[in-house]
C-alpha cells in the first residue's frame, strides 16, 4: 500500500534538513541521538528522524523522578531511560517513534505549540490512507498524573475513539525545538490496557512503510528540503 505524495505547495522559504532512518537501538542510544539533534538545532540545523527500540523500554519524562522505587513493579525489569521532553513515562515497544528538531530560524518556532498541530494533522491524514479513522482529542482532554503518558489526556493527542494512539512532547532550548512522539502500532504485552492501531482498527501497518509515507508529508507541511 502506497500513499501518493501531494504536490509541493508554493513556498516563500524552504529550510534544508537532514533525514535520519535509524535501525532499532537501545533506549539510551535513542535518547542520546535526540539530544544531539537538539544541540544541532540550536546551532541552526533542522532534522527529521524515525526510529524504533531494540527492546521494550521505559522512558521517563524530564520532570519525573528516577528512583527505581517510583517505577511500578511490573516495569522494573525493563530498561529505563530519561527523556529530554516532559510528560509521563512511555513504554516503547511496538511503535514507530519520530523526532523533529527545528532551529529558531524556522517560522513555527515563534509559536512552537503549533508544531504539535502540524505534525499530528499529517499523521491523521497519512493514517486515513490506511483506513485508520482517528482525530485529535480536542475538548475531551483531561488532567491525570498517572505514571504512563498513555493514561493521560491532552487535547492534541491522536485518538481512535477514546483510545490514544499517538502522544508527543517537546523540549525547547535557545529558541530551537525538539518534538518527538510515539505512534502505537500494536499493544505491548507489558501494557495490554493500551490498544494500538492494530487492535482498534484491524490494520497492521509496516513501520518502514509508514516512515516512508511520513517523511515526505511532514517535510512538505513544514517546508523542509532534505539534504
Per-residue pLDDT of the chain (227 residues; tens, 9 = 90+): 333 343 443 344 589 999 999 999 999 999 999 999 999 999 999 999 999 999 999 999 887 766 544 788 899 999 999 999 988 899 999 999 999 999 999 999 999 999 999 999 999 999 999 999 999 999 876 677 788 888 888 899 999 999 999 999 999 999 999 999 999 999 999 999 999 999 999 999 999 999 999 999 999 999 999 98
Report long-range pairs for 168-172 (Cβ below 8 Å, ≥24 apart).
168/116, 168/119, 168/120, 169/61, 169/83, 169/85, 169/86, 169/87, 170/85, 170/86, 170/112, 170/115, 170/116, 171/38, 171/62, 171/84, 171/85, 171/86, 172/112
pTM of the complete model: 0.90
Q: How far apart are CA 10 and CA 112, in angstroms?
A: 22
Active site members: 149
Amino acid at each position: 500500500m502506497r500513499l501518493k505524495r501531494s504536490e509541493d505547495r508554493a513556498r516563500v522559504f524552504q529550510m534544508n534538513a537532514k533525514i535520519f532512518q535509524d535501525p532499532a537501538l537501545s533506549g539510551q542510544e535513542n535518547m542520546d541521538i535526540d539530544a544531539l539533534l537538539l544541540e544541532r538545532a540550536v546551532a541552526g540545523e533542522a532534522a527529521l528522524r524515525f526510529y524504533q527500540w531494540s527492546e521494550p523500554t521505559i522512558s521517563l519524562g524530564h520532570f519525573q523522578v528516577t528512583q527505581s522505587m517510583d517505577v511500578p513493579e511490573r516495569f522494573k525489569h525493563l530498561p529505563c531511560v530519561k527523556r529530554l521532553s516532559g510528560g509521563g513515562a512511555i513504554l516503547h515497544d511496538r511503535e514507530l517513534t519520530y523526532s523533529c528538531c527545528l532551529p529558531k530560524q524556522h517560522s513555527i518556532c515563534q509559536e512552537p505549540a503549533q508544531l504539535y498541530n502540524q505534525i499530528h494533522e499529517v499523521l491523521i491524514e497519512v493514517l486515513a490512507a490506511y483506513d485508520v479513522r482517528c482525530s485529535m482529542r480536542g475538548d475531551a482532554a483531561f488532567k491525570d498524573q498517572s505514571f504512563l503518558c498513555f493514561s493521560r489526556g491532552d487535547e492534541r493527542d491522536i485518538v481512535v475513539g477514546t483510545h490514544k494512539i499517538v502522544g508527543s512532547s517537546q523540549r525547547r532550548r535557545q529558541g530551537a525545538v525538539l518534538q518527538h512522539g510515539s505512534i502505537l502500532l500494536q499493544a505491548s504485552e507489558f501494557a495490554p490496557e493500551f490498544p494500538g492501531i492494530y487492535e482498534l482498527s484491524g490494520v497492521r501497518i509496516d513501520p518502514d512503510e509508514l516512515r516512508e509515507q511520513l517523511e515526505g508529508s511532514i517535510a512538505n507541511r513544514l517546508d523542509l528540503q532534505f539534504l
